[in-house]
Amino acid sequence: MTVNTSSRVRRAPALAAIVLAVGGCLAAGAASAQATMPAATPASGAKVAHADSSFLKDAAEANFAEINAANIAVTKGSSADVKSFAQKMIDQHKQADSDLQSLAVAKGVKLPADASMMQKGKLKVLEQRDGTSFDHHYAEGQVSAHKDAVKLFTKASTDAKDADVKAWAVKMLPTLQQHLQDAQALEKTTRAADKKK
């Protein structure tokens, strides 16, 4: 049997031309489709507004700062009132942090793993104090921190876009307001004790 190689040779360029033409049309079609189709966006079911996300992150840093300061106060505090208040801060802020972590996971928000650099700096200054001076400065710091927290949560309780974020802020606000009142009372007693020394 003889094979006509010349007809195969003649068909190869023609076949290659057809493949190139079809490939070119497909590529052009794909490019056209990409140009006219909107870019894919991630599912937004769990996403929250930037302000809500920022609130959750600020709340996480505040919780860490409160727990860290309270851990120092439980050890270094010289008065039973300071130690008792500090233990309450540990218990209640750990519970708040647990609720916050669950909320953040549900909303797809990655929270910081520690207090802010500024908060850590304040803790370092606090650690340098002892006795009644420590007690008074811890209490002063608690007043300041809880004023900031009440302001932060008050804003979120009215302005948060996400219903769950808003509900959590509303739920936490009375506890933080009570912490502020307790801290203010503690600040007065520790200031008096510090002046006596």
Classify residue 197 as exposed, middle or buried by CB count within 10 Å of its CB (0-12, 13-18, 19+): exposed
Q: Residues 176, 62: contact at Cβ < 8 Å?
A: no
Of the candidates 22, 35, 167, the residue with the CA atom closest to the CA atom of residue 103: 167
- Which pLDDT value is given to residue 160? 97
| Whole-number average pLDDT of the chain | 83
Distance, in Å, from the CA atom of 112 to the CA atom of 58, rounded to the nearest integer, reads 9
Nearest to 89 by CA among 121, 111, 64, 57: 64
CA 174 to CA 11: how far, in whole Å? Answer: 85
For residue 134, the tally of other CB atoms under 10 A from its CB is: 22
Structure tokens at 61: 């840093």
Q: In angstroms, rounded to a whole number, what is the distance separating the alpha carbons of residues 75 and 6?
A: 96
Encode pLDDT of 76-129 as tens digits.
Answer: 999 999 999 999 999 999 999 999 999 999 999 999 999 999 999 999 999 999
Residue 166 banded pLDDT, cuts 50, 70, 90: very high
3 φ/ψ angles, rounded to the nearest 5 degrees: -110, 135
Residue 52 burial class via C-beta count within 10 angstroms: exposed 0-12, middle 13-18, buried 19 and up = buried
- Percent of the chain at pLDDT exceeding 70: 76
Least confident of 19-33, 68-82, 148-162: 19-33
Alpha-helix residue ranges (DSSP H) falling in 108-162: 117-127, 131-159
- pTM for the model: 0.74
* Helix pair angle (117-127, 50-76), 10° resolution: 10
Do residues 93 and 66 touch, judged by C-beta distance below 8 A? yes
| pLDDT tens digit sequence for 5-44 | 444 444 444 433 433 343 443 344 434 444 333 333 333 4
Task: Show the domains of the chain with their CATH numbers.
Answer: 50-196 (1.20.1260.10)
